Structure formats: C-alpha cells, structure tokens
Amino acid sequence: MGLMNWEWRGRSKANRAMALLASVAAVALSAPSAYAQQATQPASEQTGQSKKTDQEKAAPSGATLLDKILVLSRTGETAIESLASASHVDQEQLDRRMATTPNEMLLGVPGVAAQADARRVSTSINIRGLQDFGRVAVIVDGARQNFQRSDHGTQSTFYIDPELVKSLDVIRGPVANTYGSGAIGGVVFFDTKDALDFLKPDETWAGSVTGRYESNGKGWTSSASGAYRINQNWDVLGNIVYRDYDNYKDGDGDTVNGTGFDVLSGLLKTTIRPTENSELKLGWVGSSDGWNETSGGLSVNDVDLKSNTFTARYNITDEDKSWLDLHINTSYNKTNLDLTSLVPQNRFDPVTGFPVVLPAGSQSTFDVGTTGIDIWNTSRFETSGIAHELTYGGDWVGDSVKTGGAAGGDSFYTPSGKRNVSGAYVQDKLSWDWLEVIAGLRYDSYSLKDDTHDISGDRLSPRVTVGVSPFAGLAGLQFYGTYAEGYRSPSITETLISGNHPAGVSFPFLPNPNLRPETGKTTEFGVNYKQNDIFEAGDAFRIKAAYFNNDVDDYIDGVTLSPFAPGSGCPFGPGIPICFQYQNFAKAKIDGFELEGVYDAAWGYAGLSASITDGHTVSYKGVEADLATIPSSQVTAQLGLRFLEDKLTVGGEVQYNGKPKGNTLATDYTLVNAFASYQATDNLKVDFRADNLFDVKYANPLNGGTTVAVYEPGITLKLAATMRFGG
C-alpha cells in the first residue's frame, strides 16, 4: 500500500476515483450494461411462484435482475414489468457483495440509503428521504420489523444477518401500500434461503460451510448450512452463522471505538407442499448480538440483543391461478435489548430532573413484540377483451412495547405502550393491448394507548397508475404515470415520550397525544425499456427511470421549544433551557430522480444506477427548513467480466456520493470496490473483495444529527471459501 500511495500521490483520491467512475460509466452506457447475471436457481424456487411468466420464457439466458420476479409482488410481476420504482437483488449479487452488515446488501439500489451509526449490526433504511417509525416497512419473510429505541441518530432498527438472505426486493413510494399500513416511503422485503437453494434435483441431503476473513477489524465469519429432503413434498433447512469483529479503522487509519461486535445468527425453515397447487413455509430467524457503546471515545455501555422472528406462510391456487391465488401470512417478531452500564455515569432523574449517578452494572431493558397477519387473494379474468388482476386483502400489525430500568437509564425515554394498525384494500390491474391501468383503494385505521392515553384514527388512500406502450417501432418501451397516497399513524414514542433528557443538559421531553397521522401524496412519472439480442444473440438490456414528487402532509418531526415563547407548552422554571416535542409540520416536500440500467451478455455485465433526492419541511406559517433525512445523491457504476466458461468473474464498483443540500457537515466522496469470484469445482467456491480500495475517510451524512461523527471503514479486504457437499 505504501508504494501504491507514493505512485499515486500526484493525484487526489477523488480525482482517481472520478476517472474510474467515468470509465466504468462509459462502458455501462456504450457497451452491454447489466446489473448482474441471472441467478442459478429457477424461478419456480422463488416464493409463491410455481410457473414461469411469459416474460421469463422470453428472456434470454443471460437475463438481468430486472427480469426476476419480485418476491414482494402480489401479482407475480418482474421489476421491469412493474409500473412502479422496484428493484431486485438476488443471491449471486449478494454473494459478490460479501456483506457483513445489512446496509452493505443495498449497495447501488437507487433511492435507498442506510444509517447504522457505530452499531453496525443494527440498521435503519431510508427510502427517498423518509425513514424511522415505520415510514419504510422492513419485512423479513413476511414479518414486519418494528423495533425502536429512542437515541441520537437511528430510531427504528432491524437485525438480519446477510448470510441468511437469498434475495431482497425494494418498492419505493406509497404505491407499496398493499404491503401494510404506514409505508409512505416504501418497502424492503428480505427473503431468506430455502432448502431448494442447496439441494440438487437428485439429492436427498446437502450441506455447505463458509469461512471468511476481513482485514479491517480483523474479523471472522463462519457459516454452516444443512438441507434435507424428507420427500418430494417436504424439505427442511438449518443455517447458523457466527461473526466476531474488532473495532475497524477509518480511512486515516484511526480506530473507531465501539464498532466491534460478535453475533450469532440462525435460520430454521421447512417447506411443505400438501398438494400440487399449495405450499406452506414455516420459519424461524434469530440472532444474539453484542457490542459496546461509546461516549467521548470510551466504552460506557455493554449491549446484549436477542431477536427472534417466527413466520408461517401459506399459498394455495387453482390449477390455472385464475380465481384463486390465496396467501395467508402470520408472524411474530420479538426483540429484547439489554443495556448495562460499564462505568458510573452522571445522569438526570427522568422525573425530577435532579442530577443522579447511574452506577456501573445498572440495566435498561427494551422489549418490543410485533404480531402480524396478512391475507390476500388475486383473481385473474377477462371482461370484453380486458384482462383483470383483481387483488384484495387485509392486514393487521400489533406492537407491544415494554421498557424498564433504573432512574437515569435510557429506557425511560422509550415509552411503553401498545399500538395496533390494520387495513383492507382492493386493487385491479386492467390490461388491454398497449394500455395498462391500476386502480386501488386502501382503508387504514390505528389505535395507540398507554395507561393514560387512548388515541385512534382512520383514512382512505387511493392509487391510480396508467401505463402506455403504443410504439410499434419501439417494442419494449413503456411510459407510466402514478398518483398514490399512503397513511402513517404516529408511533408510541412520537406520541408518548416524556421525562427529562438523561445526560449533558437536562430538559423535558413533552408528550403530544394530539399528533395527527402523516399522509404521503406521491406523483411519479416513469419509463421502462427492455430489449434482447442487441449486440449479440442472448444479450439483454433493461432500464428503468422515474421522477417523483412526494408531499407528506402533517409530517412529524422533533422540535425544540422555548419556555419564553407564548403558547409553546414548554414550562418556565429554573433549569429548563428548552423543551423537546414531536410536532406536526404542514408538510415535507420531497422530489427526486432515479435510474437503474442493466445489460448482460455472455462476456460479462455492466450497470449504472443513480438517484438524486431533495427535500425540505414547511411549517404551518410557511417557513421552510432542510430535511435532515435527505441522503446523498448517488451514481453507482458496476462492471463484471466472465472467464473460464463463467467459472471466474472479476469486476468492480465505483460510487460517487454528493452531499445533501443544507447538510453543512457532509462532504462529497467516491468509493471504489473490486471483487473476484471463482467456482473452482462444483463443490468449492472462492470469493475475494476489496471495499474502499483507496482508503477514503468518509462519514454517512445521515449521521449528521448525532453528537459525534462516526467515520466508516477504510480499506477492507475480504477473502472467503465455501465448500458444498451432498448426496
């Protein structure tokens, strides 16, 4: 590294990276460009799909990710067919990313960012500038992930080990409101591995072991999987993963305290097919994590987290999937987080505001349980030459939050309580020749209560989408326009938080039982384009692009109040400099542009994605202010080359990140990654990856609201070997 740094000293890291970005982008646009190659498993192995669609049958052998059926889809469509901003990441691409944490799985997905702070095992997902408190629905095998803990930085986090995931889908915007209440930002669906991902058609059993080393943080990952076919209609899978990492170093070589962790994760799943047209999946995903939280560079809290998700998913269809395509999903997710102080800490009593000392060994507990039921059916029929896909269903999610601990502990500021959200919807997709129309209506209701409050509300939210492809000379080109609304009820914390700030400066948190729900109103215009056999037989080109404008009425955000301002509600008294309260704004206005271009051919693939997001809040007096959750603008270029009859793939990624407007702490930065994957034999695979190749020192701009900047890892080398066996 010293020699390489000396040779390149004459050029800045940013200039070198921008040169590489331009080169890769040029290849992506002029030569064949693809986000990734088709996954090896057939579409029949994907959840809820027993037959390939006409689109899949027509796709070339090197079909791109945009041709993959969205697991998230209620009507079995692919990303390129969807009249919405949708993306799919499959197993092959996840393998190339060699993700250690959930946010690394989302690299290059347009419109999506992740905030993780130093707690790398916990992640909050941001879609189009919206995040936290359910604005983005994060779903694992059908189970909503609603864990929340009040803190600086991230609020709503989830836990899933990347080794357990075989694919993920993203739908951006409130068009995703058929997937549950509150998702005004969008939905991210993680689908975990199945036994058929390991078993060959003629095998009864199969196993896989993986060992991986990472240079930055000197971490190890060990993973073992076992699958067994009881009979042709019943199989089981078990998977266990252990990770152990020290603190990593940033791009300047400085150790970032509090970033080390060790985590044990597991997966159990069984799939039963009672009949040819029905399937039952029962699953458990769990993790036991541990890490240290720091303050002023010192470890102050030991964190122990246990997360368990239980799911049952049933699907039954008639022979032709005409009138009956019924899905019944039930789930329960329980997350327990225990916080133990490692050193005595000077705090403030949450009730009196007087100084107290939180002794070493004091505990705070956060227990969040989420129960969910989701039922829907799709009926397919024709009337007067118009094809209909009529989808109708309902869902319910209940959160139970219980927190406790010593006076001055952190749990007091995440209030206990119960919240129930439910909804029902109907949506019809009408197709006729060059015209598609989607019309839908969703009803949402919620109730929220603790010992002294009982709050409720409801609303109807419409969606209308029109897609046209009237171009005989430009087959594969489709334009669409959408207007969609979504409804998010206030969370328990936003409504009921109270007490005094625990450390630093004492000031009151004020509850706000009068909070109004948020209503997202999005207008979107997009284009889909697909073409095969452009430069050579079997190649494929796909592109999706969209402009969106999202007005979130009654947007909820935290504000500071002055005790001297009339009508502020902040009590005047000694030792009360300010108050903090979640309040409604007239709206948040967010707009942006997204692009995802992919091309695949026998020689390799290349791809280009981009997203630009801008937004601000508007008070009821018309005052505009920057929206702190606006992520970096991004351009991501990817290039991969295949050799040795596709056994060897080598390539790289270049990503430019432009600082959000109004974020004074953020800076522009460019990351360069490289990877290689070699399938040495049918049963041995070796993977290599270098992240942040030029050792850039950078921080996530979404962390700008935290008290201390947390710099991301510098150069990280990863080497893994996977051995498979079966019989």
**Each residue's pLDDT tens digit, 387-417:** 999 999 999 999 999 988 877 677 777 888 9
pLDDT grade, residue 308 (50/70/90)? Answer: very high
What confidence score (pLDDT) does residue 293 get?
79
Is the pLDDT at 117 greater than 90, yes or no?
no
Residues 188, 654, 591: CA angle, nearest 5 degrees: 50
What confidence score (pLDDT) does residue 56 get?
37
| CA of residue 412 relative to chain centroid, distance | 28
Spatial distance between the Cα atoms of 348 and 362, rounded to a whole number of angstroms: 14
* Adjacent-strand bridge partners of 382: 387
3-class secondary structure per residue, 16-32 = HHHHHHHHHHHHHHHCC
What confidence score (pLDDT) does residue 683 get?
94
Contact 716, 188 (CB under 8 A): no
Long-range own/partner contacts, residues 205-211 (CB < 8 A, 24 or more apart): 205/229, 205/726, 205/727, 206/724, 206/725, 206/726, 206/727, 207/724, 207/725, 207/726, 208/722, 208/723, 208/724, 208/725, 209/722, 209/723, 210/163, 210/720, 210/721, 210/722, 210/723, 211/720, 211/721
Percent with pLDDT over 90 in the chain? 65
Going by their DSSP bridges, the two strands 508-510 and 518-532 should be labelled as unpaired
Average pLDDT over residues 660-676: 90
Average pLDDT over residues 129-146: 93
What confidence score (pLDDT) does residue 573 get?
73
Is the pLDDT at 62 greater than 80, yes or no?
no
Contact 416, 450 (CB under 8 A): yes
pLDDT digits (tens, 9 = 90+) for 219-276: 999 999 999 999 999 999 999 999 999 999 999 999 988 888 899 999 999 999 999 9
What confidence score (pLDDT) does residue 295 get?
74
Instruction: Give residues with Cβ within 8 angstroms of 597, minimum separation 6.
Output: 28, 29, 33, 35, 541, 542, 543, 544, 607, 608, 609
Is the pLDDT at 58 greater than 60, yes or no?
no
3-state class of 512 per DSSP?
coil
Cα Rg of the chain (Å, integer): 25
Nearest Cα residue to 674 out of 722, 638, 721, 635 = 638
Among the listed ranges 21-30, 344-353, 368-377, 494-503, which one has the minimum average pLDDT value?
21-30
Spatial distance between the Cα atoms of 183 and 204, rounded to a whole number of angstroms: 41
Average pLDDT over residues 296-325: 91
Average pLDDT over residues 100-126: 86
Residues in the chain: 727
Spatial distance between the Cα atoms of 651 and 600, rounded to a whole number of angstroms: 14
pLDDT digits (tens, 9 = 90+) for 379-392: 999 999 999 999 99
- Which residue has better confidence, 292 or 458? 458
What confidence score (pLDDT) does residue 123 get?
86
Predicted TM-score of the model (pTM): 0.88
Nearest Cα residue to 669 out of 647, 697, 637, 644 = 697
Mean pLDDT in the chain? 86
pLDDT grade, residue 61 (50/70/90)? Answer: very low
pLDDT digits (tens, 9 = 90+) for 530-543: 999 999 999 999 99
What confidence score (pLDDT) does residue 9 get?
33
Average pLDDT over residues 533-559: 95
- Which residue has better confidence, 518 or 120? 518
pLDDT grade, residue 706 (50/70/90)? Answer: very low
pLDDT grade, residue 75 (50/70/90)? Answer: confident
What confidence score (pLDDT) does residue 3 get?
31
* Adjacent-strand bridge partners of 357: 346
Contact 699, 254 (CB under 8 A): no
Is the pLDDT at 94 greater than 60, yes or no?
yes
- Which residue has better confidence, 503 or 680? 680
pLDDT grade, residue 16 (50/70/90)? Answer: very low
pLDDT digits (tens, 9 = 90+) for 46-56: 333 333 333 33
